[in-house]
Amino acid sequence: MTTEVPGKLSPGRTTLAARVRDLIEAVVLAEDDPPGLLDAAARIEEVTESLRARRRESPRLLVQADTVGRLSANNPVEGPGNPLAPPLSRIRVDVDGMRAEVTFTAVHEGPPERVHGGWVAAVLDHAVGRAVAAAGHPAMTASLTVDYHEGTPYGVPLEVEARFARRDGRKVYAIANISSGGTITATASAILVLFTGPVPG
């Protein structure tokens, strides 16, 4: 069952997600001290069990994202409620597309000191979806072509930009890029197909 949350997401949820993000980074960077790691694992298991006792049935948690509609606060790219999401911040949408910021951490490392290409693609995929929805053509990605021009750094705010390009029947074309300090590190072009049924959040 989907839980509707009108207006803003509860600060408890965003704070919990933020602390778990910190935890994941601390785990990835933890020194190899087996007793200390096992002790931490036991304490984390306790917290997990206490949350599981109040488990919801669906991860979807719809909130008003901005003027274009509702989106799950647990979205794995954008969602502030999901510790897996980097997440996106300073999201600005208009009829042509969207802009946002994202900061990856060591958790997202692929090549040394660079973001894993799958995470870069995930952000670009999400951005084209947001851009075409903002342009009034909510659609699902059918094809995403990503060009990696340079390694994408983590630990610094990155700018994400996506724009609706054109529509041809049910096909919607969009482009996106991710940049660091004005240098574009990856670009994407996408073909999305208009939703025929209700638009999922």
Ligand X SMILES: CCCCCCCCCCCCCC(=O)SCCNC(=O)CCNC(=O)[C@H](O)C(C)(C)COP(=O)(O)OP(=O)(O)OC[C@H]1O[C@@H](n2cnc3c(N)ncnc32)[C@H](O)[C@@H]1OP(=O)(O)O
Residues that bind ligand X (CB under 6 A): 65, 68-71, 125-126, 129-130, 133, 138, 140-143, 169-171, 191, 193, 199, 201
Shortest distance in whole angstroms from residue 51 CB to ligand X:
26
Q: Give the closest residue to 146 by CA, choosing from 182, 181, 184.
A: 184
Give the residue nearest to ligand X (CB). Answer: 129
Closest separation in Å from C-beta 163 to ligand X: 14
Closest CA to 95 of 69, 68, 70: 68
CA dihedral 168, 124, 6, 67 (to 10 degrees): -50
Closest distance to ligand X from the beta carbon of 151 (Å): 24
User: For ligand X, which is the closer residue by CB, 47 or 199?
Assistant: 199
Give whichever of 83 and 138 is closer to ligand X, judged by the CB atom: 138
Contact 94, 34 (CB under 8 A): no
Residues in Cβ contact with 158 at an 8 Å cutoff, skipping those fewer than 6 apart: 101, 102, 103, 104, 152, 178, 179, 180, 185
Residue 136, φ and ψ in degrees, nearest 5: 90, 15
CB of 10 to ligand X, least distance (A): 19
CA distance 189 to 167: 13
Give 141 or 177: the residue with its C-beta nearer to ligand X: 141
Q: Cβ 129 to ligand X, closest distance in Å? A: 3
Tokens of residue 43, six digits: 């304490």
Cβ-contact 70, 62 below 8 angstroms: yes
Q: How many residues does the chain have?
A: 201
User: 115 or 124: whose CB is closer to ligand X?
Assistant: 124
- Nearest CB to ligand X, comparing residues 84 and 191: 191
Minimum gap (Å) between residue 29 Cβ and ligand X:
29
User: Is 40 or 122 the residue whose CB approaches ligand X more closely?
Assistant: 122
